[in-house]
Amino acid sequence: MRKLSRNVYPLKLFCLLFIIGTAMSNCGPKQVVHETLSKGVRKGFATDPLNATYWIEGQEIRLVNGRSEVEAAPGSATTSRTLVFGNPVYGNLDGDGVEDSALLLVHDPGGSGTFYYAAASLRVDGWYRGTNALLLGDRVAPENVGICNGVIVVNYADRRPDESMTTPPSVGKSKYLTITGGKLIEIQTPGDGEQAQGIFAAFLSRISGYEWKLMRLAVDGKDMRLERDSLPTLAVDGNGRVQGLATLNRYFGQMVSDKYCTFRWEGPLGSTMMSGPENLMNQESAFLNALEKARSISIWDSRLVLQDDTGGSALEFGH
């Protein structure tokens, strides 16, 4: 018994030192991780554009799942609200070949106005960093936003200067935005009319001569599972004639230049009428519906991307 009791104290001392050492070793890394995450949050980094931080008129707006609600002023009962309008669209904006994002924000600072802004979110090392937001107008009617050749294109309707705010917006407008030094700025119209047609023709020459195979199909903002052994295809020539395999049937159509980096279909798409298994028919129907809705076309990171006016429907092709 005495021998056992003499060894108890060294054993207790050893256990105490082990526990202290373990606790100290665990505290160090946890503190470093916490500080790193805190710095990331302060800088406005996020895992996706809907949770990034943006700046409206110099005010920091930190989104959570696409929304922000804060006091309009310290101690005020009025709430300043900001939310994402529609869905973000994706494409490279800063020339690094990495997919960035653009989106529209609706900002209600608590007064009578409801202000619409365009903003960008740059992807850096897998994280998204929001930019400043640029004003479109008060109670305007956004139509769509897209990214083409590194330029954000926003189309919307506004009022004439002599019209009151009660008049519904009816004057079509477009803004063209780009990233310079990490900041979002407005640029002059890259091209409309004949110039836009020339830009569109040059773009078609870049994507013609390939059979593009569908890699991703989004419907109402959600990715659809693809039948990997029966992927749709798309081919386009220099004149905008489009054809391919929808899944079971061949389809064809004609693209016509609309505005900068946007297009419209000259009439409905045509296709053959062969039937098949239900899963393949469902994929074909979703593909053709998304293709007919597409209005913007761009290429980034060797992928061809077509999107609708809202960004909810998207098709990504590779070759």
pLDDT at 118 exceeding the cut of 90 = yes
The whole-number pLDDT of residue 169 equals 94
Considering the domain architecture, whether residues 182 and 54 belong to the same structural domain is answered as yes
Which is more confidently placed, 41 or 289?
289
Among 90-99, 224-233, 287-296, the range scoring the smallest mean pLDDT is 90-99
The domain spanning residue 243 has which CATH number?
Answer: 2.40.128.270
Average pLDDT over residues 72-83: 88
pLDDT at 266 exceeding the cut of 70 = yes
Distance CA 170, CA 141 (A): 8
Considering the domain architecture, whether residues 121 and 70 belong to the same structural domain is answered as yes
Among 82-96, 107-121, 232-246, the range scoring the smallest mean pLDDT is 82-96
The whole-number pLDDT of residue 308 equals 86
Return the top range by mean pLDDT from 78-82, 301-305, 306-310: 78-82
Considering the domain architecture, whether residues 71 and 205 belong to the same structural domain is answered as no
pTM over 0.85, yes/no: no
Among 30-44, 162-176, 259-273, the range scoring the smallest mean pLDDT is 30-44
Per residue in 167-191, pLDDT (tens digit) is 999 998 889 999 998 999 998 766 5
User: pLDDT band at 192, cuts 50/70/90?
Assistant: low
Considering the domain architecture, whether residues 183 and 79 belong to the same structural domain is answered as yes
Considering the domain architecture, whether residues 20 and 54 belong to the same structural domain is answered as no
Considering the domain architecture, whether residues 59 and 141 belong to the same structural domain is answered as yes
Considering the domain architecture, whether residues 67 and 146 belong to the same structural domain is answered as yes
List the one residue out of 143, 132, 124, 136 whose CA is nearest residue 185.
132
Considering the domain architecture, whether residues 31 and 120 belong to the same structural domain is answered as no
Distance CA 147, CA 95 (A): 13
Mean residue pLDDT of the chain comes to 83
Considering the domain architecture, whether residues 100 and 234 belong to the same structural domain is answered as no
pLDDT at 253 exceeding the cut of 50 = yes
Number of domains in the chain: 3
Considering the domain architecture, whether residues 210 and 303 belong to the same structural domain is answered as yes
Which is more confidently placed, 130 or 94?
130
Considering the domain architecture, whether residues 115 and 76 belong to the same structural domain is answered as yes
Question: What is the extent of the structural domain holding 4?
Answer: 1-39
pLDDT at 25 exceeding the cut of 50 = no
User: What percentage of the chain has pLDDT greater than the value 70?
Assistant: 82
Average pLDDT over residues 213-242: 94
The whole-number pLDDT of residue 13 equals 44
Which is more confidently placed, 184 or 193?
184
Considering the domain architecture, whether residues 93 and 165 belong to the same structural domain is answered as yes
The whole-number pLDDT of residue 32 equals 31
Sign of CA dihedral 245, 220, 115, 305: negative
